[in-house]
Amino acid sequence: MSETLVLGRVLSFHRRPEGVGDEAAFAYHEAGAVHVNDGRIVAVGEAEALRAGAKSAMIVDHEEHLILPGFIDTHLHFPQVQVLASWGKDLLDWLNRYTFVEEQRFADLAHCEAMAQGFYDGLLNNGTTTGVAYGSVHATSAEAMFSEAERRGMCMIGGKVMMDCHAPDALLDTAQRGYDESLALIGRWHGKGRLHYAITPRFALTSTPAQLEAAGALCAKHPECYMQTHVSENLREIERAKELYEDAPDYVGIYERYGLLSERALLGHAIHLEPREIDVIADTGAKPVFCPTSNLFLGSGLYDDAGLRARGIHGAIATDIGGGTSYSMLQTLNEGYKVLQLRGQQMHPYAAFDWITRGNAEALGLTHEIGTLEVGTAADMVVLDARATPEMALRADRIETLAEELFLLMIMGDDRAIAQTYVGGAAQKSG
């Protein structure tokens, strides 16, 4: 059993901030501490008060750095770690030119295992302690993804992609095999340690009706699992989906018809939604996932956060590695801020940091476990240094408020601003 008292300026949100000055939405301790015992948070507060109850704890002093809950990334592609920064005309061109070629290599378990190490290093070096990831069509990819997460003690959600048409033969399963392999992976990994399974039909363009029906059957059989897919990312993609499913009312309606939508459904991108589609998402509780760096990189469009929230739809936010251009949730906020500015919407730094911690945990239904620094939750934490580079330090000299510091971190910060990352109380960054 390990016991640690982690000192620093401690910040944790307990609800979404309602405006620029809503400091009641979070708890902030200027001279704070997080008391960790056996991987769990047992106390949070002012350091002086907590020292008395932690006399046997090892002291780790992060001095003036900010301590927050570990970041949560709700949309990643594990097989795309070597596809980052690949030029393409748009989404479909990029998929065919790079992604479908690269994913064929994940039939090899040894390759999967090597890539898993780099994948999780990238997450942890950027302060991300929980991810939601797509594997390739190969069960080996999911095995490696879960196995490495288990070894590191991470909370991880993911699954083997199901795709049985309109892709290279080496990347196709069948409706039955996709069902059988997914079912076996659920039995092996879902609920093991801190792992959760996501039933993963890639998107309507690469699944036949029979496969979407099989995915729906899996969702009905295992409603405790997540479901992840893509919707309405790109205008050409939407046109193609309507061609393939002519009898569906719209793109979201395809997934609706096969029973894939629920509160545990994560819908990547969801940019070009029609009014009926928004109604369905609101009614089912499905969660859109905003992926700003990939949406800009591929020229896909601008996510309408305010419009969705006005309908009671509280989406998640994610990097979308490797269409996304950075593992950093800080850089994701940077680009997300700009996307929303172009929409005439604002992302205040309080709302931004709530979103990548508690907000994403809420979208996943996991606030009892991650996303805050509440007593009893897992001690997944990130330590942020607003003076990590000379340029940041120069700007920081003129900062007067916590909001200004957070804004500096989300605009200028990246992996260099991550002083330390903790998973279950264990430090993950060396040097």
**Residue 362 lies inside a defined structural domain of this protein:** no
Report CA 154 to chain centroid distance, whole Å: 13
pLDDT of residue 88: 73
Q: How many CB atoms lie within 10 A of CB 312?
A: 10
160 plus 224 within the same structural domain: yes
pLDDT of residue 135: 97
DSSP H helical ranges for 39-138: 47-51, 91-94, 100-103, 109-125
For helices 139-152 and 109-125, give the axis angle rounded to 10 degrees: 40
153 plus 198 within the same structural domain: yes
30 plus 125 within the same structural domain: no
**Residue 344 lies inside a defined structural domain of this protein:** no
Task: Give the C-alpha separation, 410 to 418, whole Å.
Answer: 12
**Residue 150 lies inside a defined structural domain of this protein:** yes
Where residue 137 falls among pLDDT bands split at 50, 70, 90? very high
**Residue 49 lies inside a defined structural domain of this protein:** yes
90 plus 221 within the same structural domain: yes
Collapsing DSSP to helix, strand or coil, 79 comes out as helix
**Residue 26 lies inside a defined structural domain of this protein:** yes
323 plus 411 within the same structural domain: no
| The two three-digit tokens of residue 72, written as one number | 């949560």
**Residue 161 lies inside a defined structural domain of this protein:** yes
263 plus 377 within the same structural domain: no
| Rg over CA atoms, the chain | 21
Query: What pTM was estimated for this model as a whole?
Result: 0.97
pLDDT of residue 93: 79
What's the pLDDT tens digit per position in 259-296?
A: 999 999 999 999 999 999 999 999 999 999 999 999 99
Q: How many domains does the chain have?
A: 2
pLDDT of residue 100: 81
pLDDT of residue 85: 64
Q: What is the CATH number of the domain that holds 35?
A: 2.30.40.10
259 plus 185 within the same structural domain: yes
**Residue 213 lies inside a defined structural domain of this protein:** yes
30 plus 112 within the same structural domain: no
Task: Give the C-alpha separation, 341 to 14, whole Å.
Answer: 26
Q: Average per-residue pLDDT in the chain?
A: 95
42 plus 77 within the same structural domain: no
- Of 298, 327, 356, the domain-final residue: 327
What's the pLDDT tens digit per position in 212-253?
A: 999 999 999 999 999 999 999 999 999 999 999 999 999 999
396 plus 322 within the same structural domain: no
pLDDT of residue 83: 82
Parent domain of 400: 3-70+372-427
**Residue 152 lies inside a defined structural domain of this protein:** yes
87 plus 140 within the same structural domain: yes
51 plus 95 within the same structural domain: no
Q: What is the CATH number of the domain that holds 129?
A: 3.20.20.140
